Amino acid sequence: MFEGKIAIVGNPNVGKSVLFNRLTGRYVTVSNYPGTTVEVARGTARVQGREYEVIDTPGLYTFTPISEEERVARRILLEENLFLVLHVVEARSLERMLPLTLQLLEAALPVFLVLNMMDEARHAGVEIDRDCLERELGIPVIGTVSTKGEGIDRLKQKIHERAAGR
């Protein structure tokens, strides 16, 4: 029995699927979303003895869908009774991607902001004050480099803390 569902959302090419693979390992099922040709991956993540269904959604630029992929992602966000939404952004493009974070928060979704590709941001000279961002947004902000597994333990710890604090 799952503790809850975790949706991974964000723009295309920000590392959602890599994060999905880091969280789920081999427990993956890919299928078309009902009534569409859009593929959605589902898997199981184990975090401190608890199991969660993890959903890797299609790319999403805005909460107001334009494409079929965005409609599917929005439908998942609104209809799946989610325990958590991981909004994955490319850290060096944070400013461009934060509007979606705000839209997710305005929709009253339980959001964690995942700043992925932190290594590339550092290399580009981009500095992000995660503590300040957490205070301003009122949500956890976790830095990751999903391709290398950096930050994944901290993300799992935050997921566990959310589950323990329910």
Q: Structure pTM?
A: 0.93
**60 by DSSP, 3-state: which?**
coil
What pLDDT is recorded for position 128? 95
Instruction: List b or e across 20-56, with b for residues whose CB sees 16 or more CB atoms inside 10 angstroms.
Output: bbbbbeeeeeeeebeeeebebbbbbbebeeeebbbbb
The per-residue pLDDT for range 4-41, each reduced to its tens digit, is 999 999 998 899 989 999 999 864 555 555 565 578 88
The per-residue pLDDT for range 51-108, each reduced to its tens digit, is 999 999 999 999 888 888 899 999 999 999 999 999 999 999 999 999 999 999 999 9
What pLDDT is recorded for position 28? 53
In order of their start, the domains of the chain are 4-164 (3.40.50.300)
Instruction: List b or e across 76-101, with b for residues whose CB sees 16 or more CB atoms inside 10 angstroms.
Output: bbeebebbbbbbbbbbbbbeebeebb
Q: For the chain, what is the radius of gyration of the CA atoms?
A: 15
